[in-house]
């Protein structure tokens, strides 16, 4: 009768309402190269909840950790083509697509969390954002600060560059990092991040370098015994958005996305300072890793690795770019 017709039209109206609500909430995909639990994940989840809040629920984000959406370098390609919305990946995996960010991966330029924060916040940071949009079709929205990259290996303690002899070390596919190991006298093996755990496990490579927080999130302690407490590159991991996606947003949404990125960056910095020491201790106490201090205050490592700087002046846009970074950090020109 008329009652059931009324009930039915109510159901139809409710169904239509829920369809239109679903259509207006846009769900974005975010790739993460690392497993859940590290700095990438912390940045990703923080950004996701902030952007949802700041857009009043118009945008939600689904995270895909552990390289599920491809290697870190694949995810830039995909974002650049508009096939992927967001990715969190290491800065060294952006360098091949936008070489001027190489100033941030030159060995021993960034030597502390404070240095990293200074470079990502200042004029230099803004230039990286602009250059990455121009060169790679992706926009840096936020930064995860993951800490200094520490060398790990399965064979023996490494204190000096000579101790690397006979070890095969995995490096990212990054010319600067390859050159740094060559300056230390070995030929590293460039491998995608997504293949690194298996390569370590199968003994295809003996070692790799990444921050304590990443070593822990990736469970590298299961396949590595020794860590050198060195700091040749500071790992920063930008959150990037496909520039075509960004340009398709309303001005209000763009503002919300940028603000969410800024807040998530601040959170990431606090997270590193709060967590790194504890995680380093856990690698020793719970997982039995042995930490070695670099010999002679790391001086041989520094001298040999910084000798490659001039080979990259052209790719970073000239020596003056390095000098500007060093000056922002209160250091002498190269
Ligand atoms: C790499 O070694 O390729 C990256 O630094 C890994 C990461 O994103 O954590």
Nearest CA to ligand 1 atom 4: 90
- 167 SS3 class: coil
- In short, whether 34's Cβ falls inside 6 Å of ligand 1 is yes
Mutate to test the pocket of ligand 1, among 38, 73, 93 (most ligand atoms within 8 A of CB): 93
pLDDT digits (tens, 9 = 90+) for 119-162: 999 899 999 999 999 999 999 999 999 999 999 999 999 999 99
- In short, whether 197's Cβ falls inside 6 Å of ligand 1 is no
Mutate to test the pocket of ligand 1, among 41, 172, 190, 209 (most ligand atoms within 8 A of CB): 172
pLDDT digits (tens, 9 = 90+) for 179-215: 999 999 999 999 999 999 999 999 999 999 999 999 9
Ligand 1 atom at minimal distance to the Cα of residue 170: 2
Nearest CA to ligand 1 atom 7: 90
pLDDT digits (tens, 9 = 90+) for 150-180: 999 999 999 999 999 999 999 999 999 999 9
Give the strand pairing for 189-190 and 150-153: unpaired
- In short, whether 90's Cβ falls inside 6 Å of ligand 1 is yes
- In short, whether 214's Cβ falls inside 6 Å of ligand 1 is yes
pLDDT band at 244 (very low <50, low <70, confident <90, very high): very high
Ligand 1 atom at minimal distance to the Cα of residue 235: 5
**ipTM value for the complex:** 0.94
Mean pLDDT over each residue of the chain, to the nearest integer: 94
pLDDT at 5: 54
pLDDT at residue 15 tops 90: no
Report CA dihedral (223, 228, 233, 235) to the nearest 10 degrees: 50
Whats the size of the chain, residue-wise?
Answer: 334
Closest alpha carbon to 148 in 91, 197, 102, 110: 110
How many whole angstroms from 193 Cα to the centroid of ligand 1?
Answer: 6
Flag the least confident range among 11-15, 96-100, 227-231. 11-15
Ligand 1 atom at minimal distance to the Cα of residue 34: 9
Whole-angstrom Cα distance, residue 270 to residue 252?
28
pLDDT at 158: 98
In terms of Cβ atoms closer than 10 Å to its own Cβ (0-12, 13-18, 19+), residue 203 is: exposed
Quick one: what percent of the chain has pLDDT higher than 70?
A: 93
- In short, whether 92's Cβ falls inside 6 Å of ligand 1 is yes
pLDDT at residue 67 tops 70: yes
- In short, whether 193's Cβ falls inside 6 Å of ligand 1 is yes
β partners of residue 87 = 31, 240
How many whole angstroms from 224 Cα to the centroid of ligand 1?
Answer: 16
pLDDT at residue 111 tops 80: yes
pLDDT band at 23 (very low <50, low <70, confident <90, very high): very low
pLDDT band at 12 (very low <50, low <70, confident <90, very high): low
pLDDT at 122: 85
pLDDT digits (tens, 9 = 90+) for 81-97: 999 999 999 999 999 99
């Amino acid at each position: 009768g008329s009652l059931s017709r009324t009930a039915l039209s109510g159901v139809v109206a409710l169904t239509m309402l829920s369809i239109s609500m679903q259509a207006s909430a846009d769900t974005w995909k975010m790739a993460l190269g690392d497993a859940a639990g590290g700095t990438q994940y912390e940045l990703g989840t923080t950004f996701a909840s902030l952007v949802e809040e700041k857009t009043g629920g118009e945008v939600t984000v689904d995270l895909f950790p552990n390289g599920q959406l491809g290697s870190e370098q694949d995810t830039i390609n995909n974002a650049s083509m508009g096939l992927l919305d967001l990715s969190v990946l290491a800065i060294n995996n952006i360098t091949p697509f936008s070489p001027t960010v190489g100033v941030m991966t030159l060995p021993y330029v960034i030597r502390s969390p404070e240095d990293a924060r200074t470079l990502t916040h200042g004029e230099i940071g803004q230039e990286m954002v602009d250059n990455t949009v121009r060169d790679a079709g992706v926009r840096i929205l936020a930064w995860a600060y993951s800490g200094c990259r520490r060398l790990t290996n399965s064979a023996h303690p490494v204190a000096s560059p000579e101790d690397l002899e006979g070890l095969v070390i995995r490096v990212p596919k990054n010319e600067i990092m390859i050159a740094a190991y060559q300056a230390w006298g070995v030929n590293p093996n460039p491998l995608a991040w997504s293949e690194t755990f298996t390569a370590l496990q199968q003994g295809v490579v003996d070692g790799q370098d990444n921050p304590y927080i990443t070593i822990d999130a990736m469970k590298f302690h299961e396949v590595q015994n020794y860590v050198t407490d060195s700091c040749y590159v500071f790992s920063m991991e930008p959150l990037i958005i496909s520039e075509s996606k960004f340009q398709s947003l309303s001005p209000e949404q763009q503002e919300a996305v940028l603000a969410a990125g800024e807040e998530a960056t601040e959170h990431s910095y606090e997270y590193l300072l709060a967590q790194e020491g504890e995680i380093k201790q856990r690698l020793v106490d719970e997982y039995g890793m042995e930490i070695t201090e670099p010999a002679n205050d790391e001086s041989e490592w520094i001298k040999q690795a910084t000798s490659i700087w001039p080979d990259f002046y052209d790719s970073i846009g000239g020596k003056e770019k390095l000098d500007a970074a060093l000056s922002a950090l209160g250091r002498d020109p190269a």
